[in-house]
C-alpha cells in the first residue's frame, strides 16, 4: 500500500504542476489558480480579486476551501476568487508578506485593501470581503 500511496501522490503532483504550468486555470466555481507568472496580470485583469494563499499540507487551508468555493459561487460575476499555492509560488508569497496560511488577500483595482489571516468562520470571511468589495 505505501507504494500505491506514493504513486498516487506523484500522479496528483504531476497533474497540479501541469495545471500550474499552463498558468491561470479554472477551479471550482469561478476560482482560478494563480502562479508567480500570472499573479500581476490577474491584479490588472480583475477589479475585485480575492486571493486564497494556501498549501496542500495546511489543515486550516483545507477547512476554509469549501467556504471559498461557496463564496465564489455566491459572488460569481461580481468578485473573482483565486488560489495561490504558497509552496509552489514562493516569490509571490514573499512579495505579499505571507507569513502564515491561510491568508486571504483582498484587492480592489489592483491595490491590496485587506488581509484576512487564519481559518475564520464563513460569516467573518464574507463580511471582510463584502465590506471591501461590494
Could you please report the per-residue DSSP string of 15-77? HHHHHHHT-SEE-STTEEEE-TTTHHHHHHH-SEEEEEEE-TT-HHHHHHHHHHHHHHHHTTT
Write down the mean pLDDT value for the chain.
85
**Domains located in the chain, CATH noted:** 24-133 (3.40.30.10)
Secondary structure (3-state) at 133: helix
Q: Give residue-wise pLDDT tens across range 53-97.
A: 999 999 999 999 999 999 999 998 899 999 999 999 999 999 999
Residues labelled catalytic: 58, 61
What percentage of the chain exceeds 90 in pLDDT?
Answer: 74
* 102/86 Cα distance (integer angstroms): 10
Q: What is the pLDDT of residue 26?
A: 40
Q: What is the pLDDT of residue 11?
A: 72
Amino acid at each position: 500500500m505505501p507504494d500505491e500511496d506514493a504513486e498516487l501522490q506523484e500522479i496528483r503532483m504531476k497533474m497540479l504542476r501541469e495545471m500550474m504550468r499552463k498558468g491561470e486555470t479554472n477551479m471550482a466555481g469561478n476560482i482560478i489558480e494563480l502562479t508567480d507568472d500570472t499573479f500581476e496580470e490577474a491584479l490588472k485583469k480583475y477589479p475585485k480579486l480575492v486571493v486564497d494563499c494556501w498549501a496542500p499540507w495546511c489543515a486550516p487551508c483545507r477547512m476554509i476551501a469549501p467556504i471559498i468555493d461557496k463564496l465564489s459561487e455566491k459572488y460569481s460575476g461580481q468578485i473573482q476568487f483565486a488560489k495561490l499555492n504558497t509552496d509552489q509560488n514562493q516569490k509571490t508569497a514573499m512579495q505579499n508578506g505571507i507569513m502564515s496560511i491561510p491568508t486571504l488577500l483582498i484587492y480592489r483595482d489592483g491595490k491590496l485593501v485587506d488581509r484576512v489571516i487564519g481559518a475564520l468562520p464563513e460569516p467573518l470571511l464574507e463580511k471582510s470581503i463584502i465590506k471591501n468589495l461590494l
